[in-house]
Amino acid sequence: MTLQYPIKDKVAVITGGTQSLGFCIAQRLARLGAKIVIGGRNPAGAEKATEINNEVGPNTAIFQQCDVTDSSALHILIDLATEHFGQLDILVNNAGIFSKPWYQDPTGSDSCTCVDTNLRALIDGTNHALHIWSQGISRGVVINIASISGYIPLNSTATYAATKAAAIAFTKGLSELAPKIRVNAIAPSWIDTKFLDVEHIGRNHFTMKGSALLDPQKVVDQVIRLIEDESFAGDVIIIKDKEEPKLCTLPKAHETMEAMDWVED
């Protein structure tokens, strides 16, 4: 029988939680009985916390303005879980941005911001949560939002793809923290959210032709699955339209030697 990690009465921190996929995750967790700390750069995100509170009940969600590339601000966001709700149980590293193609980034500053947002902050936030959980008897779950582009190179946003590949490797590298701490990730294809509405991507980009965009709720379903099912640790679920979600077959940390043997062959 698979052990279940109940979401009810847990406390979750969600970076980039004020819009698109992040807000969908926040809503679902709140509806399942969790308390929510939402982080986002836009102060108007406070309205999103109010929206959840109006639907689910007072003091279900709070908002904290946060740029995840600011390490101190990110730590303050995560610490709010214990300061306001008394505990930290779930961290969803959702904040992310696309990178521009190299020819639109002559100084490299855009690529640096993409790496800082998508990867450095993800590692920083996870490490901070791990230190919190290591100091007590509490257990925790981290969900990293990766992308199928972590497996498929993209010429339009190569740095973005590289950060997602690194997020997948980071997730698998922490598999041995289980069962006390489980770190998992999802790797969805293009999701039908406003995240796509940037000039060099857009909804008519060639990589999106031939397949429909994912319904955000299909992705949220897998986030919940990775949180609740305690058999998942260091796992990545790949999500594509019209296909059943499937586990990534790349090795986990404890399988490294077998992986090295395979590479040498």
Task: Delimit the domains of the chain by residue range.
Answer: 11-264
In this prediction, residue 136 carries a pLDDT of: 80
pLDDT top residue among 212 and 79: 79
What is the CATH architecture of 11-264?
A: 3-Layer(aba) Sandwich (3.40)
- Average pLDDT on 43-52 reads 95
| Mean residue pLDDT across the chain | 89
Distances (CA, A) of 98 to 7, 19, 149, 169, 205: 31, 15, 11, 19, 14
pLDDT tens-digit map of 125-156: 999 999 999 988 789 999 999 999 899 877 77
* Separation of alpha carbons 115 and 112, rounded Å: 5
pLDDT tops 50 at residue 16: yes
pLDDT top residue among 137 and 165: 165
pLDDT top residue among 9 and 213: 9
∠ at Cα 229 (227, 233), nearest 5°? Answer: 75
pLDDT tops 60 at residue 265: no
The 3-class SS string of the chain reads CCCECCCCCCEEEECCCCCHHHHHHHHHHHHCCCEEEEEECCHHHHHHHHHHHHHHCCCCEEEEECCCCCHHHHHHHHHHHHHHHCCCCEEEECCCCCCCCHHHCCCCHHHHHHHHHHHHHHHHHHHHHHHHHHCCCCCEEEEEECCHHHCCCCCCCHHHHHHHHHHHHHHHHCHHHCCCEEEEEEEECCECCHHHCCCCCCCCCHHHCCCCCECHHHHHHHHHHHHHECCCCCCEEEECCCCCCEECCCCCHHHHHHHHHHHHC
pLDDT tens-digit map of 78-93: 999 999 999 999 999 9
Catalytic residues: 160
- Average pLDDT on 159-170 reads 96
Find the range with the poorest average confidence among 127-136, 198-207, 213-222, 246-255.
198-207
Q: Is the pTM of this model over 0.85?
A: yes
- Average pLDDT on 6-24 reads 95
pLDDT tops 50 at residue 95: yes
Say what percent of the chain tops pLDDT 70: 87
In this prediction, residue 70 carries a pLDDT of: 98
pLDDT tops 60 at residue 200: no
